[in-house]
Amino acid sequence: MKQKKNNSKSGNGLSRRAFIGKTAAATAAFTIVPRHVLGGPGFTAPSDMVNVAGIGLGNQGGSDIQNIATPDVPIKRSGGLPGLKFYRYPGVRPERTRSTGARRSDNPNQMGDAGGDKSFKHANIYALCDVDTEYAGHIIAGYPKAKVYDDFRKMIDKEKDLDAVVIGTPDHTHAVIASYAMNAGLNVFVEKPMAKTIHEVRFLRDLAKKTGVVTQMGNQGHNIEGTMQTVEWIQSGAIGNVRDVHMWSNRPVWAQGPLERPAGVDVPKNLNYDVWLGPAPEKPYSPETTHFAWRGLWDYGTGAMGDMGAHTFDAPIWALGLGMPTKIQATTSPYNTEYLPQAENVMYEFPARGDKPPVRVTWSDGGIKPFRPSELEADRQLREALYIGDKGMLQHGTHGAMPELIPEDPGFKAPEPWLNRPSSVYVDFIEAIKEGRKAANDFEISSVLTEIMLLTNIAVASQQVNRTLEYDAENMR
C-alpha cells in the first residue's frame, strides 16, 4: 500500500541544532493531500494491507507494534533489560464484557483478549526505528522482514511505501516526530500524551486538519466497553448530577523528587543519543535518565499525569462534557528543576455547562489516595476514578474499565447502549486509514484531554509562588 508524500531528504550526521532546524522546517509546508481523499488511480482499496513503521520500540512502543501485528518470530526479551509490558487489546468489544453495575469481580475483564485466533495482522510492519537497536532488539527480531533504522527522519525520507507511523518514543519527541510524519503525508498514531506542551498539542491538532491524515492518540481505554458504559450511565442520570470526581494513580514507579541529575557517562555505541535528545536541552547521557526513567524528568517526561492521566481522566471529560478547567491548584511533595515531584494532589474547577452544575475534579498520585466512601462495601476495592452524584456514586478502574455503582444496586437496569462501539484503538486506526475516515480518538478529540493533562504540570510550577492557576483556554493564557 503506497501513499503520496514529499521528497525532502535529510543529510547525514546532523547536529542537534540542525536536527531542530530541519524538523522545524519540515513543519512549515502543508501541501500534502492524502490519497484516500484524492481517490482515482492508486486509491487504496479497503482490502489492501497498510504499511506501518514503528518509531520507539520500548515498553509501550513495543506493545503498540505487537497490537498492530503478531510478530513473525516469538518475542524473547534480552536478559538484563527492563521487562516488556504487553497488553493485547481486542479488536472488537463483545457484548459479554458489558458491566451490569454489579461487583467488579462478577464481570469479565474488559481489557482482556476478545477470544478467537490470537494471531492477527491488522497491518504490515514495514519498518522499525529506534535510537537504541540493542535495547529494541527483541522487537526487531520479531519482525525480520522489517527495515531497520535509528533515525526517524532517514526512514521517512527514504521509505516511499510507508502509509503510517506508530510513535512510542519519550514525550518530548512526540510532536517533532508526529509533525515530520504528517508533513510527509503519513497517518500518525502517537502514544499519550500526544505532545509535551500545550503549544505542541494545538500545533499538531491544526496540522492534522491541514494535512488531512488520519490521527489517533494511544489512549487505549477510549475505545473500551467500560468507558462507553460510564458515559451512557452518567448521561442517562444513573447517579444524578455529578459535582465531584476523585482520581488517583499508583504512579510514579520511577525516580522523581528533589534529586540530583546523575553524572554523565560515555554514550553507548548502540545508542543514537543525538536523535534521542531531539529538541531537549543538550545534557550529558546517563542510563538513569533515558530508558523508562525519562518519565520523571522535566526535560523529557510529564510525570504520573502524563503516564496515566489519559487512562483515568478521559471518561470524566467525556461523560460530563467538561471542556476546559478555569482554575487549577496543585499541592506537591518537594521537587526541583530536574525532576517532577514524587507526589501530587491537584484540584481542577470546571464551570457549569448549560443545566449541568460546576464540577470539581481531584487528582492524586505518589501514594496519595482519595477518601473511601462509607457506602463502598468492605469487600470491594476503591478503584481509580470515583464520581459523586446527588443520587449515588460510580467508580471504575484505569482505562475506564468495569464501571460499578456505589452502593451495589442489584436492581439497577443499565440504559440501552447508544454510543458507537469502535474497535480497539489499533484496529480503529488501521480501519480509518483504509476507509478514509477519522479515527475515534483523533487529535481533535485527544487534544482537549492532553491540554488538561499538561495544565497539571503548569499548576505544579505555579504553587512555587503560592498561586492558583487561572486558565483562559480560548486565549491560551
At 115-136, the pLDDT tens digits run 333 567 889 999 999 999 999 9
Q: Which three cell numbers stand for residue 429?
A: 486506526
Which residue has cell 540493542? 134
pLDDT score for 88? 37
pLDDT score for 467? 80
Structural domains of the chain, ranges and CATH numbers in brackets: 16-219+424-443 (3.40.50.720), 222-256+300-416+455-470 (3.30.360.10)
Contact (Cβ atoms closer than 8 angstroms) between residue 104 and residue 380: yes
Q: Which three cell numbers stand for residue 71?
A: 510478530
Q: What is the DSSP letter of 53?
A: E
Q: Which three cell numbers stand for residue 118?
A: 490470537
Q: Which pTM value belongs to this model?
A: 0.86
Which backbone phi and psi does 177 adopt, to 5 degrees?
Answer: -75, -45
pLDDT score for 38? 45
Q: Which three cell numbers stand for residue 48?
A: 489492501
Contact (Cβ atoms closer than 8 angstroms) between residue 234 and residue 275: no
Buried b (16+ CB within 10 A) or exposed e, 40-67: eeeebeeeebbbbbbbbbbbbbbbbbbb
Helix, strand and coil content of the chain, in percent to the nearest 5, comes to 30, 15, 50
Which backbone phi and psi does 453 adopt, to 5 degrees?
Answer: -60, -45
Residue 93 CB-density burial (10 A; 0-12 exposed, 13-18 middle, 19+ buried): buried
pLDDT score for 105? 36
Q: Enumerate residues 6+ apart whose C-beta is below 8 A from 333.
A: 257, 341, 342, 343, 344, 366
Q: Which three cell numbers stand for residue 29?
A: 509546508
Q: Enumerate residues 6+ apart whose C-beta is below 8 A from 171.
A: 193, 195, 196, 294, 295, 300, 301, 302, 306
Cα-based distances in Å from 37 to 41, 212, 214, 438: 12, 8, 11, 12
Ranges of the chain whose pLDDT falls below 50:
2-18, 20, 24-25, 27-46, 79-97, 102-117
pLDDT score for 1? 54
Between 443-462 and 310-320, two packed helices, what is the crossing angle to 10 degrees? Answer: 110
Helix, strand counts (H, E) of the chain? 13, 14
pLDDT score for 112? 38
pLDDT score for 14? 36
Q: What is the largest CA-CA distance in the chain?
A: 67
